[in-house]
Each structure stands twice: as structure tokens, then as C-alpha cells.
Amino acid sequence: MESKFQNEHGECPKNLKIGVSVYDQYDTFVASLTECLKSMAKQKEKDENISINVEVVSAGGKQSVQNDQVTDFINAGCDILCINLVDRTDATMIIEKAKNANVPIVFFNRELVREDLERWDKLYYVGSSAAESGDMEGQIVVDLCTGEDNFKKWDKNGDGKLQYVILEGEAGHQDSLVRTEHSINIITEAGINLEKLGDGIANWNRAQGKTKMDQWMGEIGDDIELVLSNNDDMALGAIDSWKESGKSDWPLIVGIDGTAPALQEVLEGNMQGTVLNDAPGQAHSILEIAYSMGQDIELPEDIELTDDIYVSLPYRIVTAENVEQILKQQYQP
Ligand code: GAL
Ligand code: CA
């Protein structure tokens, strides 16, 4: 087969230029993912004896900026783009540009609708199931509250219900809506009575999570028995607030992502659990798709593509029981 990457001798050129744009450089989980990607690309350069250039830019939360970054990457001769969309409903412009220039795109972490991904056969999505992470977060609470003595430990006022607050990610993000719904459903389906005392959007952000919890602290702090958070950074913000309050009767706190500081809080017992969002696994998948597209070869067997579009990495529950093991196994970029 003719390939734009083959020279006249039918050999593949060695170089690969990958342009990565993230929605916000300050997002902890996304930053850890791009760190993994960069370090894995360095390793692959050595393993394959080729040059892989990975350039990471941030759109600073503006879709128009990201659209321009895509133009710049294409003009700079990138072989493939990896895009963490700012607005997951607004991918049309980027897709058109890439298609016109015949530059494939691996979207990641911020899931666009299938219809968009079907606009061209060189579009991919790497991520994880939002529903699964919400289910697992709920399951951590169920496991900790099953059995009368366990339940009593968290039901501080002894009314047979868990009074909770929930910190939510960005409005409209697949991981906010779905995680909220699934975590709550799993808990209530297990027969645990919940009573919501408050909810607030904190945009995945630790400082915003703390601000929200500070507000609640004054009004309902002593009544809160459970803090559900759509991600770890917001849960860490809640923990910051709890530490500052000097109160001792902490609620059960759970998050999602398994970031380094969150695993530390699980180890120290300030947070009861988190759900590992596999940044190294996602980075590996992104890199392998980029590499295979760039060299026009088949994907390696460990990358499973669903419907020729999707790679979905499994989540994993982390609690006091396995946190030490998880810390030992963690990929260090
Ligand atoms: C989620 C992750 C959040 C945040 C968000 C950004 O998957 O759990 O912490 O990084 O993606 O899109
Ligand atoms: Ca209660």
C-alpha cells in the first residue's frame, strides 16, 4: 500500500511530530497524563531508535485559542494531533482543519459525541467510562457503610441516613453528570438512605472545592457525614477546609482520579477512597495510536479499538486496603 510516510525505497521515515493541546494546563489529572505521554515518548524514541517530538500547549480554557493552536500545529508539519477539547460540543472546526490537511486526531479525556467522531475515519477517542467511575465511587461508600457498626461510624447524628454534600466538576462535562448520578444510585440501591445537604460546581479545582466547603462549613459543617466529589482535586479542597476548621469529627470523603496527593490522603486516612483514572494507560494508548498512524502500521495488540474509534481504559478502586500496593505499582513519569 502506498503511504505518505514511505520513501522511494519503501522505508518508513524515523521522525514523528505530535502536537498536543490541553483545555487547561492547571488541571491536575490532565497534566499528569501529558507528563506520562512525554516521558513514554522519550522511552519509545530509545526503543525504536527514532525521533518523536511531543509539543504540549494549553488552550487556557478558550476554544478559539485551541482552534488556532490546531492551525499552528498543522502549519508546523505535525503528523498527528492529540486534542483535549475545551468545549466537547464544539469540535467541528478542528475536525475540518485536520481533515483538510489529512492529519489524524486522537481526542482524549473530554468526550465528544459519536456523531463528531464519525465525521472522518482518522479520528479516535481515548478515555474511560464515566459511569464506571461513578459506580466505583459509590461502591467505596457502600463497602464502608455495610453492616450496622460500620454505618454507625459515619452516621454521626444516628438518624439512619447519611447526610451528604457533593462537589461537581464542570457543567456539561461527561464526567460530572454521569459520576454524580451513578455514585448516588449505587449507594441508594444498596439500601443506604441519603439526604442531600448541598451541591456545588467547583470545576475540578482544588481551590474552588475548598471555597465551597468553607461556605458549607459555617452553615452545616457539623451535619455533613459524607462528601462525594466528582474528582480528587475538589475532594482535596474539601480536606483543606476540614483541616483548617480544626474540627475532629470528619465525614467520609471520596474522590476520583488517584492523583499523587489524593493517594497520600488515603494513606493517611483523611480520605477513605478514590478511583484510579489510568493516566499512564491513557497516555500509552494515545502514543501507540499516534505512532501507528504516523508509521502507517497496525496498532499493537494491547490496544483495543472499539468500533475503530474508541479506547476505553478501566478504572480501579483505591482504599486504605490497597493504597500502598497501588503506590508501588504507579508509573513514574
Ligand atoms: C476528568 C478528571 C478530572 C478532570 C477532567 C478534565 O476525567 O477526573 O479530574 O481532569 O477529567 O476534563
Ligand atoms: Ca445521619
DSSP for 157-171, written as a single string: T-SSSEEEEEEE-ST
Same domain for 141 and 266?
Answer: yes
- Please indicate whether residue 257, judged by its CB atom, sits closer than 6 Å to ligand 1: yes
> Does 170 map to a domain?
yes
Examine residue 297 and state whether it is found in any structural domain, yes or no. yes
Cα 74 to ligand 2 centroid, rounded to whole Å: 56
Quick one: which ligand is closest to 151's CA? 2
Distance of CA 14 from the midpoint of ligand 1 (Å):
33
Are 29 and 158 within one domain?
A: no
Chain position carrying cell 445537604: 197
In a domain, 224, yes or no: yes
Region 5-9: mean pLDDT is: 51
Ligand 1 centroid from CA 157, angstroms? 34
Average pLDDT value for residue range 62-77 = 98
Lowest-pLDDT choice from 3-12, 174-183, 258-267, 291-300: 3-12
Q: Which of 259, 276, 293 corresponds to the end of one domain?
A: 276
Instruction: Indicate the SS3 state at residue 151.
Output: helix
Indicate if 48 and 181 belong to the same structural domain.
no
> Is 240 domain-assigned?
yes
Number of independent structural domains in the chain: 2
What pLDDT sits at residue 2? 44
pLDDT exceeds cutoff 80 at 306: yes
Contacts of 230 (CB under 8 A, 6+ apart): 166, 167, 168, 169, 175, 176, 179, 180, 204, 256
Choose one of 87, 89, 204 to mutate for the ligand 1 pocket test, by most ligand atoms within 8 angstroms of C-beta: 204
| Across 115-133, average pLDDT | 98
Q: How far is the CA of 13 from the centre of ligand 1 (A)?
A: 35
Query: How remote is the CA of residue 20 from the centroid of ligand 2, in Å?
Result: 47
Compute the Cα dihedral for 37, 42, 48, 52 and give only its sign: positive
Phi/psi for 144 (5° steps) reads: -75, -20
In which band, very low, low, confident or very high, does the pLDDT at 11 lie, cut at 50, 70 and 90? low
Whether ligand 1 lies within 6 angstroms of the CB of 79 is answered as no
For 266-329, the DSSP string reads HHHTSS-EEEE--HHHHHHHHHHHHHHHHHT-PPPTT---BTTTEEEPPPEEEETTTHHHHHHH
**CB of 227 sitting under 6 A from ligand 1:** no
137 lies in the same domain as 258: yes
Do 64 and 47 belong to one domain? yes
Q: Which of 28-32, 146-150, 251-255, 285-289 has the lowest mean pLDDT?
A: 146-150
Residues with Cβ within 8 Å of 75's Cβ and at least 6 positions away in sequence, in order, are none
Q: Of the candidates 257, 314, 278, which has an alpha carbon nearest to the alpha carbon of residue 137? A: 257
Contact 13, 27 (CB under 8 A): no
**Ligand 1 mutation target, pool 126, 175, 312, most atoms within 8 A of CB:** 175
Straight-line distance from the first to the last Cα atom of the chain, in angstroms, rounded to the nearest whole number: 37
> Is 135 part of a structural domain of the chain?
yes
Inform me whether the pLDDT recorded for 291 exceeds 90: yes
Query: Which ligand is closest in space to the CA of residue 24?
Result: 1
Assess whether 47 and 74 both reside in one domain.
Answer: yes
Is the CB of residue 27 below 6 angstroms from any atom belonging to ligand 1?
yes
For the chain, what is the mean pLDDT?
A: 95
Determine whether the shortest distance from the Cβ of 206 to ligand 1 is under 6 A: no
Q: Is 272 in the pocket of ligand 1 (CB under 6 A)?
A: no
Same domain, 114 and 179: no
Mean pLDDT of 136-148: 97
Instruction: Check if the beta carbon of residue 285 is closer than 8 Å to that of residue 111.
Output: no
Burial class (CB in 10 A: 0-12, 13-18, 19+), 286: buried
Ligand 1 center–CA 132 separation, angstroms: 14
% of the chain at pLDDT higher than 90: 92
Is the domain of 272 the same as that of 286? no
Q: Quote the cell numbers at residue 20.
A: 498536543
Assign residue 192 the CATH number of its domain.
3.40.50.2300
Residue 176 in contact with ligand 1 by CB distance below 6 A: no
Tell me whether residue 314 is in a domain.
no
pLDDT at 10: 63
In-domain check, residue 313: no
Same domain assignment for residues 108 and 177 = no
The domain of 75 spans 16-128+278-302
Listing from the earlier edge strand, what are the strands of the sheet with 310-312? 51-58, 15-22, 80-83, 105-108, 123-127, 310-312
Mean pLDDT over 29-50 rounds to 95
In a domain, 98, yes or no: yes
User: Residue 9's pLDDT is what?
Assistant: 54
3-state secondary structure of 52: strand
Q: Given this model, what pLDDT does residue 271 score?
A: 98
Q: Which atom of ligand 1 is nearest to the CA of 130?
A: 7
| 107 in contact with ligand 1, CB cutoff 6 A | no
Confidence of residue 329 (pLDDT cuts 50, 70, 90): very high
53 and 115 in a common domain: yes
Question: In which band, very low, low, confident or very high, does the pLDDT at 296 lie, cut at 50, 70 and 90?
Answer: confident
Predicted local distance difference test score (pLDDT) of residue 264: 98
Would the pLDDT of 4 be above 70?
A: no
Ligand nearest to the CA of 29: 1
Same-domain check for residues 205 and 236: yes
Mean pLDDT across the stretch 96-114?
Answer: 97
Give yes or no: residues 271 and 135 share one domain: yes
Structure confidence at residue 91 (pLDDT): 97
Cell of 230: 466528582
Q: Is 73's C-beta closer than 6 angstroms to any atom of ligand 1?
A: no
3-state helix vs strand vs coil in the chain, percent to 5: 45, 20, 35
